[in-house]
Amino acid sequence: MNEKVVLAYSGGLDTTAIIPWLKENFGYDVICACVDCGQGNELDGLEERAKASGAEKLYILDVTDEFCDDFIMPCVKAGAVYEHKYLLGTSMARPVIAKALVEVARKEGATAICHGATGKGNDQIRFELGIKALAPDLKIIAPWRMPEVWNMNSREEEIEYCKAHGIDLPFSMGKGYSRDRNLWHISHEGLELEEPENAPNYDELLVLGVTPQQAPDEETEVTMTFEAGVPKTLNGKEMKVSEIITELNELGGKNGIGIVDIVENRVVGMKSRGVYETPGGTILMEAHDQLEELILDRETMEMKKKLGSQFAQIVYEGKWFTPLREAIQAFVDSTQQYVTGEVKFKLYKGNIIKAGTSSPYSLYNESLASFTTGDLYDHQDASGFITLFGLPLKVRAMKMAEAEK
C-beta of residue 223 within 8 angstroms of C-beta of residue 235: yes
Q: Active site residue: 36, 91, 94, 325, which one? A: 94
Per DSSP, the residues of 113-162 read EE----TTSSHHHHHHHHHHHH-TTSEEE-GGG-TTT----SHHHHHHHH
Q: Active site residue: 14, 36, 49, 325, which one? A: 14
User: Torsions phi, psi of 151, nearest 5?
Assistant: -115, 25
Asked if 123 is an active-site residue, the reply is yes
Asked if 106 is an active-site residue, the reply is no
Q: Active site residue: 29, 70, 155, 178, which one? A: 178
> CA 26 to CA 58: how far, in whole Å?
19
Alpha helices per DSSP H over 12-55 = 13-26, 46-52
Asked if 145 is an active-site residue, the reply is no
> CA 214 to CA 211: how far, in whole Å?
5
Asked if 91 is an active-site residue, the reply is no
> CA 259 to CA 216: how far, in whole Å?
16
C-beta of residue 115 within 8 angstroms of C-beta of residue 123: yes
Other CB atoms within a 10 A radius of the CB of residue 275 amount to: 19
Q: Active site residue: 49, 123, 325, 359, which one? A: 123
Q: How far is CA 249 from CA 78, 242, 257, 324, in A?
A: 21, 11, 9, 31
Catalytic residues: 14, 94, 123, 178
